[in-house]
Amino acid sequence: MPATANVTALDRAQLAAEGISTPWSTRVLRTLGSSGPLRPGEITGSSPIPAGSLQKVTGLLERAGAITRLPIPGSRRYELALTDAGRALGPAHAAALAWADRHLVGREDLEEPEAIDSAISLFAIPHTGAVLFELMAGEPLTVPQLVERLPVSSTAILHYRLPVLAEHGLISRSGTPRTYRWTTSEAGMHTGAMVRELSGWAERYLPSAAHPGSTGRATSSITAASGTDVAVVAAPSPATSRTDAARLRRDTLRIHFSHAPASSQPPAPLHSAAADLRR
């Protein structure tokens, strides 16, 4: 995504997830956080991370700015250390773990760091946040209806993505294969704390998540409203395409991801916001 793009909270959450959610990434961050700078061999020697996986993991975290290399004087070797960005991931990890402990499929088979990786990685799947948001904003939707609301080019994309999200328990479906209607599950309704923390981290530490000041639309922002509500503030200019319309809906509706009721019905703020927007 170019740095000049107008980025929403959901986009920022995906950018963050893509940068920090590879398997073993949380384990690396926690190891460096508790021990201080370490050489790569020392990381694998003090944790269950396979030596063959470490280079991929550390490369991803370096590109995300969460860790950095410290040259060892008089040697070609180096140590890896947490950056301010890496240390700032604590709230996002805490939100991911809280969600995983309650909702993650297969949580009982995972240790805590890997449960965090698995939870965050769900938002690295393209369109996860946007699909959850649209399904929470009203009645259950079919694939063609979702295609009209989301910035996707064809139904084929969603025919692949939706079953993946259903397998992870974030959405559910009803009806027959020819008339499936999709809705957000309770697990999907409670992902808001992750979205908020990942988005806030990306906005602060990832250059690609910066908000341009010279675009034709007002800058989006994410703020704490009442309780755990998250308000994503809209740009005022009218949408001129299906993609713009989808982004505008995502920018303007009030999200109540974090503490949604156990009922399958979306929270009242979503009903009212959706109704106001579609008049």
Rounded distance between C-alpha atoms, residue 78 and residue 91, angstroms: 29
List the domain boundaries for the chain.
9-14+122-277
What are the b/e assignments for 131-150, b being 16+ CB within 10 Å?
bbbbbbbbebbbbeebbebb
Rounded distance between C-alpha atoms, residue 140 and residue 174, angstroms: 9
Q: Give the list of residues 6+ apart from residue 36 with CB closer than 8 angstroms, or none.
A: 81
Bridge partners (DSSP) listed for residue 232: 222
Joined together, the tokens standing for residue 204 give: 């602060």
What's the angle, vertex CA 54, arms to CA 49 and CA 58, rounded to 5?
Answer: 125
Query: pLDDT tens, position by position, for the chain (279 residues)?
Result: 333 334 588 889 999 999 999 999 999 999 999 999 999 999 999 889 998 999 999 999 999 999 999 999 999 899 999 999 999 999 999 999 999 999 999 999 999 999 999 999 999 998 899 999 899 877 899 999 999 988 888 889 999 999 999 999 999 999 988 889 999 999 999 999 999 999 999 999 998 766 533 332 222 322 222 233 333 333 333 334 444 544 544 444 444 444 343 343 433 333 333 333 334
Q: Give the list of residues 6+ apart from residue 144 with CB closer than 8 angstroms, or none.
A: 155
DSSP readout, 139-180?
S-B-HHHHHHHSS-S-HHHHHHHHHHHHHTTSEEEES-TTS-
CATH number of 9-14+122-277: 1.10.10.10
Check residue 170 and give its pLDDT.
Answer: 96
Check residue 7 and give its pLDDT.
Answer: 55
Global pTM value: 0.75
Rounded distance between C-alpha atoms, residue 98 and residue 92, angstroms: 10
